[in-house]
Amino acid sequence: MNEPVTTLQGTAALAAMFEGAKAHDRAAFLPYFPIGYPTYDDSLAAIEAMAAEGVDGFEIGIPFSDPLADGPTIQAATQVALENGITVRRCLEAVRTLRARGVRQPMLLMGYLNPILAYGVEAYVRDAHAAGADGLIVPDLPPEEAAQVKSACEKVGLALVFLLAPTSTEARIKLVTAQATGFVYLVSVMGTTGARDHLPETLPGFVARVRAQTDKPLVLGFGIGRPEQARQAGELVDGFIVGSALVREGAHGAEAVRALAASLRRALD
């Protein structure tokens, strides 16, 4: 098991993360978990537990009332978080707290555009960087409308990740791969997040179409929830994200999250 990144931040930390995983001939594993579910303290405990299991990075979920890319499991969890009073500012506080508690893996903030606009783009990026975040994933921000966010991220070295779907055209793949920093997020299936029984048979072809246009790291998300799926994803791309399956375990406590994360991580060895 390789050691997590300890001193770098932003795109440099992500590059080191992928290099470290590649040196061990495996893909990077980035769990998703929302701040505030089932409680604020429980969500931090779950993330700390996964960090201790040697995951490579995190997608930190920022709860939002209209999470269009998320399936029912994450929608329900983030609604609970909102009812618990979780705000963007509280999520940034959570990142700062996790850093203070020794979580060193790269952390990307996964949140929607409206809360960022309400907070203020420049202030959000500045405060995310100061808290210890390494990048942003904003599912409803297309690259054509991302100039302000991209500029703010570039000033402090944060990654700005864009998404591609299996239906993306060659022109869309060219645009997104040119604009994304840190990595390119590949959505494995059409629709919203959520664990599936099988990854689609068309996935290798989709990955090959994107790989033909970029040498940036490719990270797969949506539909992965079991060790055999982690192994399958790891053979195709540079990293993968697991969300709904871990969030579902979150209802049973941090130890349940730890156990699933550990099984997914061990599947890569």
| pLDDT for 192 | 57
User: Is the CB of residue 112 less than 8 Å from the CB of residue 140?
Assistant: yes
Half-sphere exposure of 88 (CA within 13 A, CB side): 20
Q: From the candidates 19, 25, 53, 70, which is the catalytic residue? A: 70
31-59: average pLDDT: 98
Q: Among the listed ranges 73-77, 205-209, 228-232, which one has the minimum average pLDDT value?
A: 228-232
**In whole angstroms, what is the distance from residue 159 CA to residue 178 CA?**
13
Q: Which of 103, 7, 98 is nearest to 56 (CA)?
A: 103
Tell whether omega for the bond before 38 is within 30 degrees of 0, i.e. cis.
yes
Q: Mean pLDDT, the chain, as a whole number?
A: 93
Residues 91-111 pLDDT 10s: 999 999 999 999 999 999 999
Whole-model pTM? 0.93
Q: From the candidates 56, 59, 134, 238, which is the catalytic residue? A: 59
User: Is the CB of residue 61 less than 8 Å from the CB of residue 193?
Assistant: no
User: What is the percent of the chain where pLDDT is above 90?
Assistant: 83
In this prediction, residue 68 has a pLDDT band, given cuts at 50, 70 and 90, of confident
Q: Is 66 a catalytic residue?
A: no
What amino acid occupies position 152?
A: A
Q: Is 145 a catalytic residue?
A: no
Residues 197-212 pLDDT 10s: 567 788 999 999 999 9
